Amino acid sequence: MATATAASSADSDTECSVCHELFKNPKLLPCAHVLCRHCLLSWLASNPEALCPLCRGAIADPKEKSKTKGWEEVVDALPDDVAMAALVESTRVLSQDHVCVGCKSAAVSICLNCNDMMCQACSDLHTKFSVSSHHKVEDLSSMTAEELAASQPDHCSVHTSKPCELFCPTHGAAICHLCASAKHRACPDLTKLAEAADKSREELSQMVTSLLTEEQQLEEAVAALERHLEATEKVVQEAVAEIDMTCDKLENSVKEFRRRLKEMTLDAKAKVKDTVLTVKVTLLDHRGRLTSHRRVVNRTTRGSTNKGMCDVTRALRDRVKDILDTCGQRRAHLKAVSMFTLIIDAAAVSRIEKELSELGQVKISPASVGPVQIRIDQLDPRYSSCYLPCGVVLTDPDHLRLPDTACSGWGREAVVISGAVFNRGHTVNNNLNKATLDLSEGTRVGVMVTTKAELHLWVNGSDRGVIATIVPTPCFAFFELRGRYQQVSVLPPTHPS
């Protein structure tokens, strides 16, 4: 179980969420939450579905238990949060009474090498003794747990009295010189631990940047959904007003039908709202995972030894990559949320007495939540110029005949922008700017079909106007990567300005 101290209750970051005490043997879960090893084993014993008690994220596949001797092997396979363990130990040290280890008077400083607290007089003596003259002594009043954790000397896990000065990439271990000569003599590329730590620090910094960027993009997507929900509410109000105006003209004949129209409208609103909130919950869940991992990375960067930083970097590398890939896939497959519009059949008014059921209907139609966009990340230098065909395809992408191209194989099922504009096989615009789709790195390009069935082209957030009209729905945006376009990023939808 975790160890409680007087100071730990005020710092939930170092407390286990199960036992509410300072972490002991903290384990890093796939969702980036941290639990004590013992608490995690107890939790899994009483909750065999193996879900995190904080976010209900999967800890492990329950089938894994049947392949091993029990949950212990599953838990031990999870990475140790060495940064949290160091932070807990530093918190424990700083929470003790500030009493000098030598004369028992009030301590004012702490030796970072010995973790001993000292009064001013003992501190002065400590720095004069030859055995401790090289030790680093700091003022207790300004020392934080993170600073204390990061300042601890790295000791070899095998020869505990020896300092770690080397790093073995083959085994991913920080080692001393004795280990290097005894067990790692055949290992290539031994490097200085400080250099390996610098590389890990740089990689962790890049992780933070990537996670923060992804988090911001998800926040933008959530904000777009919230704006879409507000727009839906406005459409509902306008639809209800239109219903009232129409029904007032035919008050005696359409009283019951008015009720039906309102019911259909509110039902459509509920469907749109449910869809938006479902997507929003998914995005917020992924944002939570991004935020949790970013905090882990930040905590590791600030409060880890070189050895701990290398260990955590190795533990997080693949996981962060998988999270970023999953988020990218989520955004790439995020389809436009639908909004409803009201359709009133004018011809029905003339035969209202006979055909009241045909007076109006509520229809779900594509919402203008913003263009589907990509960003050009990498170009092939072998190509000096090449168009980027894009547009919308009417056939479900799962049923396209690939590797046929938009301009040939399935062009009659698409509206293609490529130098000229082709609407289902017919040229509709030969005057498109030739440079419009000859793009450079960093350029953002997107397409959007409005509720008026008009296809718009967007470049760097600017609407280039109506490219084609009478575009059937439903349709699916596409960007055909070929030639010089080697790598792109899918951007979240934004509300059109």
Residues 346 and 414 in one domain: no
Q: Are 136 and 126 in contact (CB under 8 A)?
A: no
Axis-axis angle for helices 251-303, 193-249 (nearest 10): 170
Do 214 and 355 fall within a single domain?
Answer: yes
Whether 244 maps to a domain, the answer reads yes
| Structure confidence at residue 34 (pLDDT) | 92
- What is d(CA 431, CA 451) in angstroms, rounded to the nearest whole number? 25
| pTM for this entry | 0.46
63 vs 88: which has the higher pLDDT: 88
* Distance (Å, whole) CA 219 – CA 195: 36
Residue 355, pLDDT > 70, answer no
Cβ atoms within 10 Å, residue 450: 15
- Given a cut of 50, is residue 7 above it in pLDDT? no
Segment (H or E) for 416? strand 414-418
- Mean pLDDT value across residues 225-241: 80
Q: How confident is the model at residue 35 (pLDDT cuts 50, 70, 90)?
A: very high
Report the share of the chain in percent with pLDDT over 90.
2
Report yes or no: 23 and 36 within 8 Å, Cβ to Cβ: yes
Confidence of residue 334 (pLDDT cuts 50, 70, 90): low
Same domain, 337 and 440: no
Using omega within 30 degrees of 0 as the cis cutoff, is the peptide bond preceding 474 cis?
A: yes
343 has a pLDDT exceeding 70: no
Domain count, the chain: 3
Instruction: Identify the domain boundary among 312, 341, 365.
Output: 365
pLDDT averaged over every residue in the chain: 78
Which H/E stretch holds residue 289? helix 251-303
Categorize the per-residue pLDDT at 3 as very low, low, confident or very high, splitting at 50, 70 and 90.
Answer: very low
Distance, in Å, from the CA atom of 15 to the CA atom of 4, rounded to the nearest integer, reads 9
Residue 11 predicted with pLDDT over 50: no
Domain span at residue 285 reads: 197-365
Q: What is the CATH number of the domain that holds 452?
A: 2.60.120.920
Query: Quick one: average pLDDT of 322-332?
Result: 73
What's the pLDDT at 69?
61
3-state DSSP assignment of residue 287: helix
Does a structural domain hold residue 427? yes
How does pLDDT run across 104-146, given as a tens digit for each residue? 888 888 888 777 889 988 988 888 887 787 788 888 877 888 7
Rounded Cα–Cα distance for residues 256 and 243 (Å): 12
Asked if the structure places residue 116 within a domain, the reply is no
Residues forming a β-bridge with 192: 166
Residue that terminates a domain, selected from 94, 123, 138: 94
Average pLDDT over residues 37-51: 87
Q: What is the pLDDT of residue 369?
A: 54
Q: Please say whether the beta carbons of 138 and 72 come within 8 A.
A: no
Confirm whether 189 is domain-assigned: no
pLDDT in tens, 282-314: 778 888 888 888 888 888 888 788 888 888 888
User: Is 136 contained in some domain?
Assistant: no
Look at residue 298 and tell me if it is in a domain.
Answer: yes
- Rounded average pLDDT over 453-478: 85
Specify whether 382 is located in the same domain as 348.
no
CA distances from 209 to 157, 213, 217, 405 (A): 32, 6, 12, 36
- Same domain, yes or no: 331 and 416: no
Question: Are 280 and 408 members of one domain?
Answer: no
134 located within any domain? no
Helices 306-332, 193-249: inter-axial angle, 10-degree rounding: 30
Spatial CB neighbours of 181, under 8 Å, sequence gap ≥ 6? none
At position 87, the amino acid (one-letter code) is L
Residue 187 lies in a domain: no
Residue 394 sits in the same domain as residue 444: yes
